[in-house]
Amino acid sequence: MSTRTDRPIYERPKSLSLVRSNYCPGCHHGIIHRLLAEVIDELGIREQVVTIAPVGCAVLLYDYFEVDCVQSPHGRAPAVATGIKRSRPELTVITYQGDGDLAAIGTAEIIHAANRGERITTIFVNNTNFGMTGGQMAPTTLLGQKTETSPYGRDARANGFPIRVSEMISSLTGPAYVARVAVFDPPHVMAARKAIRRAIQVQREDLGFGFVEILSNCPTNWGLTPVEATRWLKENMLPYYPLGEFVGSTQPPAASKQPPAGSMS
Amino acid sequence: MGERVLMKGAEAAAEGAIRAGCRYFFGYPITPQNEVASYMSRRMPEVGGTYLQAESEVASINMVLGAAAAGVRAMTSSSSPGISLMQEGISYMVGCEVPAVVMNFVRGGPGLGGIGPSQCDYFQATKGGGHGDYNLVVLGPSSIQELVDMMGDAFEIADRYRNPVLILADGIIAQMMEAVEFKQSVDSTPLSRKPWAVTGAKGRRKNIINSLDLIPEKLEKHNWDLQAKFKQAALDEVRWEEYCLEGAELVLVCFGTVARIAKKSVDNARAAGIPIGLIRPISLWPFSVAPFEKVMPSAKKFLVVEMNTGQMLEDVRLAVAGRRPIAFHGKPGGTTYNPELIDQVIHQALEKERFDEHSN
Amino acid sequence: MRKVTINEDYCKACELCVSACPKQVLALSSRLNANGYHPVELIDEPHCTMCAFCARMCPDAAIEVWLVAAADPPLQSDSLRQRDTIEKEQKNG
């Protein structure tokens, strides 16, 4: 042990396993993993957390966190999480899912877990494609966006429109916190961390379902460098997927207008 | 010891599961077993358990996977089309080695089929159903009492092998009412701790419940390890019933409710001096080969009767291994047998040299 | 005295830290790590303000930022120390 006259301004979170991740260079999954580990450390809940790993780039999630983990079939993570939480309500149960997992094959499971107000937390990583399988079109692919299976650009007539999952989830009554964030620069990274923390807290405070959608880059499948991909995200994804808190806003209410002194009202 | 009550099969099955220590039921409505869910929805809160109606059978089996991974006794119940939806989840549970009980009250198929009873999911249950190299212990009850007694065994076998167990019943058992005795009380002894379960990594390294292995050699080893479990189960979990097998020359082979009906026909035939007997496999996987060996000296012909177009028939062919002719009669689609019909089938089997025609 | 430690084994040369740094004190080095990447390095230490933007952008948690008292010997971060301990334990079986 050192004498500890030094002070960390930022140190690697303890809940993050001491392994090199398999994510592509510059992939935002890495930032999101780091944030989740920071929040677990901050809340001191490492021994109570169970994560559910998706099918997707984050399929090896269980290697990256020092917490219990269950690997779920594709899209079924909210149902698996429900089974765990209903049988062990003292645990903090967190699913981590991508576009295909949550917005394609798993649409029923996420809607119904959210609708039940299941006391679980879902982190949804939206990078507009199916990353692990090589960049196919996803429900979140933008119109005109070229992917492995939309080589001429996504066409609304053939394939419908990109799904705004946060808005859809926020139309239900069960969720206690729904937010869309991004991690493309340090201030947004800090805001994303707050959102992740809040989404976990509403579970622990027994308020309802917690959901954070995180806009993310995919340098490899977008064919861009990490820095270029981050710029592409800002220019193309933000206009269609607005950031914000849709349910359970943590912002204080705007100050009410005071009547002028001496007025009757 | 226990009380004797008149109960519908589906409800008795639910009560039997609760007596066996199951406190978590996740399911979706499907005829002909909806009474399981209704009963569970009333009874689980009474015993401090959880009933949750899932949004689909897909969600049901995955909730069972989660609860089982967390170390509790969990189950689901459905019928043929719903069991098809559960195959992915069942394969995952085998691969990541979590225990659970799945009940199938079989109805006519394929597709939406009908709501009459059938035995047409034998292949699905015993030959995989889901993807990958695997087996489930499959138990086929022929009475409500047997189903209730089987529940405790099913959960215990599942826990012991860390593998799901499938109970293959049919719509007759689900819907009929019989007197049944519950030998286990509700307040059973606490269940054993499962050190592999995800209960929060307190004071230990993290537990991972996972069926993925991207390194082929490691996945190969995992498969052989699973096979070792199945080999052990094949030795220890095989069960069957022999009925009037002594000196039998025509040997009926039936399972489930068909066997129960066929026993009456066996009695009728024996009363008429016909040397006939019955093998009733109770474990459909592992399939019982021993009674076939036992009866082979006297047997001249086997007669398989089942409510499908010939599924257990294939396991009988394997057990007989070409040594005797095998006749077959089947009733798919939700139609059922009665003793008179089986009497006729027996006479046809005795008269004809070759008889393997399906009914009409 | 301040210290930015970079775990060169984890760095994948994505340059998100380089891009995020408001003072441009980071750049890819000419060294290669075992995975074939040029790990990033601090090239202008006096102008580092310890804002930790680099650490907060790093997808591999490869960067730590410490405020180190001048009298102390060079710091090894907790995570690096933990890793060394785990590796030693694994070697010893």
Task: Give chain A's mean pLDDT.
Answer: 93
- Rounded Cα gap, residues A205 and A248, in angstroms: 13
Residue A263 in any domain: the answer is no
Residue A6 in any domain: the answer is no
Query: How is residue A150 annotated by DSSP?
Result: B
Residue A77: CB partners within 8 Å, gap ≥ 6?
A: A52, A53, A54, A95, A96, A97, A101, A102, A106, A109, A122
**Residues C83, A18: C-beta atoms closer than 8 Å:** yes
Task: Determine the pLDDT at residue B355.
Answer: 58
Q: What is the domain range of residue A185?
A: 28-151+160-247
φ and ψ at B104, to 5 degrees?
A: -120, 115
**Residues A12, C56: C-beta atoms closer than 8 Å:** no
Please check whether residue C38 touches A, CB under 8 A. no
Which is nearest to B346 in space by CA: B241, B240, B264, B243? B264
Residue A16 in any domain: the answer is no
Of B209, B236, B263, the one marking the end of a domain is B236
| pLDDT over 80 (residue A122) | yes
Is there a single domain that holds both residue B267 and residue B304?
yes
Is there a single domain that holds both residue B87 and residue B33?
yes
Give per-residue pLDDT as tens, B123-178: 999 998 999 999 999 999 999 999 999 999 999 999 999 999 999 999 999 999 99
How far does the CA of residue B285 sit from the closest CA of chain A (Å)? 26
Residue A210 in any domain: the answer is yes
Give per-residue pLDDT as tens, C7-66: 999 999 999 999 999 999 999 999 999 999 999 999 999 999 999 999 999 999 999 999
CA A231, A236, A241, A245 torsion-angle sign = positive
Q: Which of A66, A82, A86 sits opposite B201 (nearest CB)?
A: A66
Q: What is the CATH number of the domain that holds A48?
A: 3.40.50.970
Q: Residue A14 is encoded by which pair of tokens?
A: 């303890």
How far does the CA of residue C93 sit from the closest CA of chain A (Å)? 18
Give per-residue pLDDT as tens, B195-227: 999 999 999 999 999 999 999 999 999 999 999
Of B200, B216, B236, the one marking the end of a domain is B236
Q: Which of C16, C69, C78 sits opposite A226 (nearest CB)?
A: C16
Strands (E), chain A: 7-10, 49-53, 68-71, 92-98, 121-126, 129-130, 136-137, 175-182, 209-215, 244-247
Residue B298 in any domain: the answer is yes
Is there a single domain that holds both residue B212 and residue B300?
no
Residue B225 in any domain: the answer is yes
Residue A206 in any domain: the answer is yes
Residue B76 in any domain: the answer is yes
Q: Give the type of residue at B349.
A: A
How far does the CA of residue B72 sit from the closest CA of chain A (Å)? 7
Residues 53-112 of A with CB under 8 A from C: none
Which residue in this structure is represented by tokens 């089997």?
B349
Please check whether residue C13 touches A, CB under 8 A. yes
How far does the CA of residue C20 sit from the closest CA of chain A (Å)? 7
**Minimal Cα distance from A118: which residue of B?**
B52
Task: Determine the pLDDT at residue A253.
Answer: 58
Q: Is A24 exposed, middle or buried (0-12, 13-18, 19+ CB in 10 A)?
A: buried
Look at chain B and report how many structural domains it folds into: 2
Q: Is B348 exposed, middle or buried (0-12, 13-18, 19+ CB in 10 A)?
A: middle
Q: How many CB pairs lie under 8 A apart between chains A and C?
A: 109
Task: Determine the pLDDT at residue B354.
Answer: 61
**Residues A83, B200: C-beta atoms closer than 8 Å:** no
Residue A166 in any domain: the answer is yes
> Can you tell me whether residue B78 is helix, strand or coil?
strand
Residue B358 in any domain: the answer is no
Provide the whole-model pTM: 0.91
Residue B64 in any domain: the answer is yes
Residue B289 in any domain: the answer is yes
The domains found in chain C, sorted by start residue, are 2-91 (3.30.70.20)
- Rounded Cα gap, residues A172 and B54, in angstroms: 17
Q: Residue B23 is encoded by which pair of tokens?
A: 């406190």
Mean pLDDT of all residues in A195-214: 97
Residues 133-192 of A with CB under 8 A from C: 185-186, 189-190
Is there a single domain that holds both residue B250 and residue B215?
no
Residue B314 in any domain: the answer is yes
**Residues A80, B199: C-beta atoms closer than 8 Å:** no
Residue A1 in any domain: the answer is no
ipTM of the complex: 0.92
Q: Which of C3, C58, C86 sits opposite A18 (nearest CB)?
A: C86
* Kind plus residue range of the DSSP H or E element containing B11: helix B9-19
**Minimal Cα distance from B59: which residue of A?**
A79
Q: Which of B59, B60, B212 sits opposite A71 (nearest CB)?
A: B212
Q: What is the domain range of residue B114?
A: 4-236
Q: Give the type of residue at A249.
A: S
Look at chain A and report how many structural domains it folds into: 1
- Is cis: bond before B32, omega within 30 of 0? yes
- Rounded Cα gap, residues C93 and B225, in angstroms: 24
The answer to whether B49 and B187 are in contact (CB under 8 A) is no
Residue A14 in any domain: the answer is no
Is there a single domain that holds both residue B247 and residue B166?
no
Please check whether residue B68 touches A, CB under 8 A. yes
Q: Residue A4 is encoded by which pair of tokens?
A: 């500890």
Is there a single domain that holds both residue B267 and residue B178?
no
Residue B35 in any domain: the answer is yes
Is there a single domain that holds both residue B302 and residue B171?
no
Of B236, B266, B284, the one marking the end of a domain is B236
The answer to whether B121 and B168 are in contact (CB under 8 A) is yes
Q: What is the CATH number of the domain that holds B289?
A: 3.40.50.920
HSE (CB half, 13 Å, CA atoms) of B212? 18
Q: Residue B295 is encoded by which pair of tokens?
A: 């009866």
Task: Determine the pLDDT at residue B360.
Answer: 37
- Is cis: bond before B297, omega within 30 of 0? no
